[in-house]
Amino acid sequence: MFAIRNSENRKVIQKEKTCWVVNLGLVPYAEGYDFQLKLVQARKAGAIPDVLLLCEHPHVITLGRNGRREHLLASDNLLAQMNVEFHLSDRGGDITYHGPGQIVGYPILDLTEHKRDVRWYVEQLEEVMIGATAEFGLSAKRVEGQHGVWLDTKAPAEKLGALGVHLSRWVTSHGFAYNVSTDLRYFDLIVPCGIAGKRATSLERALGRQVNAEKAERHFIAHFGEIFGRSMISVPLKDLRNELDGFQSFGVSSIENRDSVAVGAAKGSEV
């Protein structure tokens, strides 16, 4: 247990620098978002430590707070024919695609225990993606004025990983999406991250071979722990749900969004 409550219902926090890693598998976007909200509330209360959620989503396009609807190039009919959902999101950034073959990471961190600096946080997430990419012998990089990580190609730099985050009282949600074996044709439905003339790429495309997704995830977890200074502990989803059920049994189940800010994934975002 990270936090327990004594007989007077006061929190007792164990000061361990840990981060729980929970893999949700393939989960619909809306379900993943609702789960994040519950975790944010529990993290604010100190009922759980930092958490890194990892998952994949079925085909979905999301538009962030800073996004422009005209960056969605597909009609509603075409999205329905291709079985692609569309959702508005409270993350920062513009428009992006999620689908099978991506590593999607949703860190639920209390930045008061790290550094109260949004720009620093975004840069650390980029460092995680850069470090994980280096494990495969590739040099990912930042591009000035454009968040995420990029690979140099014969064409202009192509985007390998995107990010868009949300903070509420210094607790983070949303996060990053990294293309491992993603079907890149789905990015043709949008102007990726609202940046005209830029294209997405994937780890498999860059390497010219198949990549073991579990191996890539392990690299992400290791670099995340190193960069954020946390011991990464794998926790089954059912155990995390039990922690949340125990927390909510104290009657603290409403989701608060006061004092929140979205930051993130595209040029012109609020970073």
Residue 63 has pLDDT above 50, yes or no: yes
Residue 41 has pLDDT above 60, yes or no: yes
pTM of the model: 0.87
CB under 8 Å, gap of 24 or more: what pairs does 110-115 form?
110/43, 110/44, 110/50, 110/170, 110/171, 111/167, 111/170, 111/171, 111/172, 112/170, 113/50, 114/228, 114/229
Instruction: Specify if 129 maps to a domain.
Output: yes
Instruction: Specify if 113 maps to a domain.
Output: yes
Residue 193 has pLDDT above 90, yes or no: no
Residue numbers annotated as active site: 193
Q: What is the CATH number of the domain that holds 214?
A: 3.30.930.10
Residue 36 has pLDDT above 90, yes or no: yes
Amino acid at 1: M
Instruction: Specify if 211 maps to a domain.
Output: yes
The predicted pLDDT at position 195 comes to 76
Residue 256 has pLDDT above 80, yes or no: no
The predicted pLDDT at position 225 comes to 98
Higher pLDDT, 10 or 2: 2
How would residue 271 be classed by pLDDT, with cut points 50, 70 and 90?
very low
- Residue 260, both tokens: 């929140």
Q: Are 205 and 77 in contact (CB under 8 A)?
A: no
Task: Note the pLDDT tens digit of each residue in 200-235.
Answer: 999 999 999 999 999 999 999 999 999 999 999 999
Q: How many domains does the chain have?
A: 1
- Phi, psi at 166, each rounded to 5°: -135, 140
Three-state DSSP class for residue 163: strand
Choose among 74, 62, 69, 97: nearest CA to 189: 74
The predicted pLDDT at position 7 comes to 38
239 burial (CB, 10 Å; 0-12 / 13-18 / 19+) is: exposed
Instruction: Specify if 12 maps to a domain.
Output: no
Task: Note the pLDDT tens digit of each residue in 75-114.
Answer: 999 999 999 999 999 998 899 999 999 999 999 999 999 9
How would residue 8 be classed by pLDDT, with cut points 50, 70 and 90?
very low
Q: Are 126 and 201 in contact (CB under 8 A)?
A: no
Instruction: Specify if 100 maps to a domain.
Output: yes
Instruction: Specify if 1 maps to a domain.
Output: no
Choose among 233, 6, 266: nearest CA to 145: 266
Average of pLDDT values for 61-75?
93
CA distance 182 to 210: 11
Task: Note the pLDDT tens digit of each residue in 131-184.
Answer: 999 999 999 999 988 889 999 877 788 999 999 999 999 999 999 999 999 999
pLDDT > 70: percent of the chain: 86
The predicted pLDDT at position 15 comes to 61
Instruction: Specify if 11 maps to a domain.
Output: no
Instruction: Specify if 6 maps to a domain.
Output: no
- Phi, psi at 118, each rounded to 5°: -65, -45
pLDDT averaged over every residue in the chain: 87
Range of the domain at 128: 17-262
Other Cβ atoms closer than 10 A to 215? 12
